Structure 1
């Protein structure tokens, strides 16, 4: 079995593209340090409206483009009033969370019921890095034919950050691009997929529209791949919502659980007489939790200089499926997947009734959020999500119900009159 670390090294040598400053990368090198790490205190809600200041120029708008304003904060926290807190939030009587969690924000929720079991700064706004590929996948898997064959371009190969190794002239099915996107976090695959959705700007717009329909109001994509860009934002709560939606697509659930597949090569450059055909090679899933945690269903990793370590994954135990999200984490004292494992163990140890809130669509979230916000229905089990309910839709249902009752009364009265005549 080829490990993710060996794969990353091989792909870097193959493509000549290592992680760039501010680029989305799934597995950055471990930084050795002797400085003790303390999880940032978020009790005073420092990221209520925006992520922390960037450390580089990746979020500077292009010339002539405005600086995005912070996303509006809902009057009532989506998912329940308790989720408006910014520190560590636990059910009553729950034990303290395990040590070694360096993530600034995190959340554990039930994939099936939507119950939020525990969290830290759930609606605080942070950068998603490559975990935003979950949102791209949810849009693309519903829109593109997985069997369609596309040709790789030089533009695909030139994209910054982690690359799976798409080459000009290579022939790839969309299924292979989805594998490269989800398993190996290929930014070149994200570019090839976005090109079919109308280009980067059109794809980002589709992603943001879908996030709004899911009530992921802390989320704004700036790039399809997770490369940092102006206004990029998500939250531990939103990332759980996005992942739950994507998991309603059977192919997504299959791909995040796939350990290894073969990826095609591409032909020699005809303009370069010294170039030779580039053979295909295997790619492995870059999520260590999949290989190390019993019951792991899969997930998505991410890293940029601004976002730091990000992570979302799910696991199953005794018929219960839980999701864990981490934002702005570090590799110390534990790697992100190890932090996720500790939080999953913590969540599985809590009783089924434990809850501090809920993802959109559950009864608790419906009664605890701003009534002016239209709640999305729970994800469907097929390849499409149910559309969000609207106030007009509910009014129409009420009108039809009242009309039906009146019609029944009229018919009953008519029947009584007819019986009297006989």
Structure 2
């Protein structure tokens, strides 16, 4: 092939490669993300609890952040460990789990920490956090008939019965009362308002995988959380004294339906049988399976453990949590990510100062949602157009040269014919 043609072909290939390199890279990233089965939504439900009501649509999945909250490695789907670490204990059945330092926020180890799962009753930690922030512990609340008719587990509230917020928090966190969750939600302005406050709190913390759709954790369309988020929420809740004092109680007296008092016993088994346990919360629904979040302290070091979508056979979920806590306490201070101290903040838009000579140049701004530079017109729409125009120009040059060569060949043939006397 003549040099001129080889040059044109090389230029065409280079232009086409530049035009389509970015879309190809994006497709590869999307394909990698697709390998994480629960990156956008929890697994399909096993019952009808998440079917939308007639005439309603299920909420759209929560947006997946461009960068995993807490660090790039936390976006991985499988086992995430620091270099040269021992393998975690056997018998952990959870589909997602996380171990983190409560004080430094360092994530010690994890398995699919941003995989989206259902919280079940561990979402009550988020409700309790909002209650501890907004309501006084000695505030007296009157239960309603609607409170007493919630799908149980229930403490056993009495229609018209009066309870302090502190007593209701004990019923919420020790025995996971769904009737109590509804009562507290009403006191926060009603269930829809309580859910708005819960979700606003989650977003403020940086728990961007979480959407509370019921105050109790019962499954409903759109419910979502992750092991990372549950650890983040528990860490935030423990900063409220009312919550921290309640979650560590092994027992508490509660007003009985027929007068007198009943004894509430904490369903977190680790409080009684794990050295240094300082509180935790269990949960279960058919769709979520078994969930757990809890914390313990040893030698001045506090760890939080989260397990989502676990099983209780052959080992109870709290016993699995104990094994992971032992594993975490034996590990060094290194980590694979961090529990953030608040939601990632968008960077302000930045527009460079332009002189009169460069007003036509593309201006790079910063996207207020992702904090990344927004593509310029050339980088998004202009690049493909420019590439097509370049290919067209090169094609025109190629045709011009070919026509010129053809004319020269015809001239040579005519000259040869004249020389032969034709």
TM-score by shorter chain over 0.5 = yes
Find 2:160's aligned residue among 155, 166, 169. Answer: 169
Cα deviation, residue 200, structure 1: 1.1
**Residue in structure 2 matched with residue 122 of structure 1 by the alignment:** 113
Q: CA deviation at 1:171?
A: 1.6
Mapped partners of 1:120, 1:181: distance in 2: 29
What is residue 284 of structure 1 aligned with on the other side? Answer: 265
Which residue of the other structure, out of 181, 193, 216, is the alignment partner of 2:184? 193
User: Is the contact made by 2:41 and 2:116 (CA closer than 8 Å) also made in structure 1?
Assistant: yes
**Shift in Å, 1:372:** 4.7
Among residues 268, 283, 304, which one is paired with 1:323 in the alignment? 304
Q: Which position in structure 2 is the counterpart of 1:342?
A: 323
| 1:131 equivalent in alignment to 2:122 | yes
Partner-residue secondary structure (3-state), 1:360: coil
In structure 1, distance between residues paired with 2:347 and 2:238: 28
User: How far off its partner does 1:250 sit?
Assistant: 1.1
What's 1:355 paired with?
335
TM-superposed deviation, 1:161: 2.1
Report the equivalent of 1:53.
44
Q: 1:246 aligned to 2:237? A: yes
The partner residue of 2:275 within 266, 273, 294 is 294
Q: Shift in Å at residue 371 of structure 1? A: 6.2
Whether the 8 Å CA contact 1:43–1:87 is kept in 2: the answer is: no
Hey, what does 1:98 align to over in structure 2? 89
Task: Give the whole-Å Cα distance in 1 for the aligned partners of 2:214 and 2:109.
Answer: 30
1:19-49 deviation digits (Å, cap 9, x = unpaired): xxxxxxxxxxxxxxxxxxxxxxx99311000
RMSD between aligned residues: 1.8
Residue aligned with 2:171, SS: helix
Structure 2 residue matching 1:198: 3-state secondary structure:
coil
Q: Is the 8 A contact 1:59 1:230 kept in 2?
A: yes
Q: Which residue of 1 aligns with 2:148?
A: 157
Query: Is the Cα–Cα contact under 8 Å of residues 137 and 242 in structure 2 kept in the other structure?
Result: no
Counterpart of 2:302 in 1: which secondary structure? Answer: strand
Equivalent in the alignment of 2:195: 204
The Cα shift of 1:63 comes to 2.3
User: Relative contact order (alpha carbons < 8 A, sep ≥ 6): 1 or 2 greater?
Assistant: 1
Which structure has the larger Rg? Answer: 2
Structure 1 counterpart SS, 2:327: helix
SS in 1 for 2:35: coil
CA distance in 2, matches of 1:371, 1:98: 39
Q: Is the contact between residue 141 and residue 187 of structure 2 (CA under 8 Å) also seen in structure 1? A: no
Query: Can you list the C-alpha shifts for 1:235-257, whole angstroms capped at 9, x where unaligned?
Result: 00000000010000011111111
Tell me by how many angstroms 1:169 deviates.
2.2
Q: How many residues align?
A: 317
CA contact (8 A) 1:164 1:184 kept: yes
**2 CA distance for matches of 1:161 and 1:205?**
23
Please list every run of 5 or more consecutive structure 2 residues that lacks an aligned counterpart in the other structure: 1-32, 349-367, 369-422
Question: Offset of 1:138 from its aligned partner?
Answer: 0.7
Higher helix share: 2
| Correspondence 1:305-324 to 2 at 5 A | 305-324=286-305
Q: CA deviation at 1:278?
A: 4.8
Q: How far apart are the structure 1 equivalents of 2:261 and 2:34?
A: 50
**TM-score of the superposed pair, with normalisation by structure 2:** 0.73
Distance in 2, matches of 1:314 and 1:174, equals 24
User: 1:151 deviation in Å?
Assistant: 1.8
